[in-house]
Amino acid sequence: MLRRKISNIYRLGVKELWSLWRDPIMLGLILFVFTFSVYSSATSMPETLHNAPLAIVDEDNSQLSQRIVAAFYPPEFLPPIMIDQSQVDPGMDAGEYTFALIIPAGFQRDVLAGRRAEIQLNTDATRMTQAFTGSGFIQQVVLGEINAFVQGYRGTAASPVELEMRARFNPTLDKSWFGALSQIINQIAMLSIILAGAALIREREHGTIEHLLVMPVTPGEIMLSKIWSTGLVVLLASALSLNLIVRWALQVPVAGSLWLFFTGAALVLFATTSLGIFMATMARNMPQFGMLMVLVMMPLQMLSGGSTPFESMPEPVQFVMQAAPTTHFVKLGSAILFRGAGIDVVWPQFAALIIIGMALFVGSFMRFRSTITQMA
């Protein structure tokens, strides 16, 4: 009896894989989210200052102004464009550069004489995030060059206390490292829900669910077949993405054990695929399922700790999100991939995923069996 059940689950899962193979839209979605989406999310983090166009009007032509000009270089800024005062407004109106720094005549003389010296920074605020970050960064650069020039050396006065910063796990503070790995964590949860739910709705729309009802299979076998086939596809796609896109194309190192990470991914897939099947039983067609996806995935991704620190959220939100599998997956994924944590560190998240997965599976199974019975 057990052998026949396992055989049924295996053959039904193979059928799901063949159905997915014949669905070019779903295959295109899988390819997109684990290649281009991961790469673009890592290389275009909106809060970073990268290759910002900068124009400088140097009316002073002094040693100090030349030091300020030379202080702006890639990768934060493109090489500065030297322009005249009359070119500032037309250039910014045309969007040719985000920042325009104007150094007036006599600037170095006023600085050395201790008089009030002014320097003007024009910013294109339509590029909001880059403008906000870049304005503060430019001010720091200019003030640093002025202080170094006045003191006669690059540095500050001796202090009895020296603060030394050491960045662990990401020594270069490269935000693409965090963006690439976080995107894979988010996409595993999102794609598993979509594939599992779409598989059930596709059978309902094509009428093949009625064929399954007359076969000697149980609702549990049908549901388990969809879970293992969907989970296998997402695991393989995420493994290829992690190795080809993240580690090879982006050169992002992985600190911990990939086997441990994908074990945790398998647990979260068990929970999210069950959730996808539950949502599919609530929706009558794919458009309704898509609307449910928006209502479910937005909170799961935004409040799980992958986009913003979990500790900064209100305590009621933290309490509610403890029941979400993505919250624990983000914690264990970050701990393993970024900090090289072992099972002794992430076992609470593994235990939580097992409990949440079993609860979602039981709830989804009861709903799925009820739906199947009504159709019969």
- Residue ranges per structural domain of the chain: 2-44+171-375, 54-151
What SS3 state is found at 329?
helix
* Alpha carbons 350 and 251: distance in angstroms, whole number: 28
Question: Mind listing the pLDDT tens digit for each residue in 263-300?
Answer: 999 999 999 999 999 998 888 888 888 888 888 888 88
**Selection from 24, 31, 43 nearest residue 241 by Cα:** 31
pLDDT of residue 255: 83
pLDDT of residue 38: 85
What SS3 state is found at 75?
coil
pLDDT of residue 301: 81
pLDDT of residue 153: 47
Question: Mind listing the pLDDT tens digit for each residue in 172-216?
Answer: 666 767 777 788 888 898 899 999 988 888 887 777 776 776 777
CATH number for the 54-151 domain, one of 3.40.1710.10, 3.40.50.300, 3.90.1200.10, 3.30.1330.10?
Answer: 3.40.1710.10
At 291, list the tokens.
């609307």
Give this prediction's pTM: 0.74
pLDDT of residue 186: 84
DSSP E strands: which ranges in 41-174? 54-58, 81-82, 99-103, 120-123
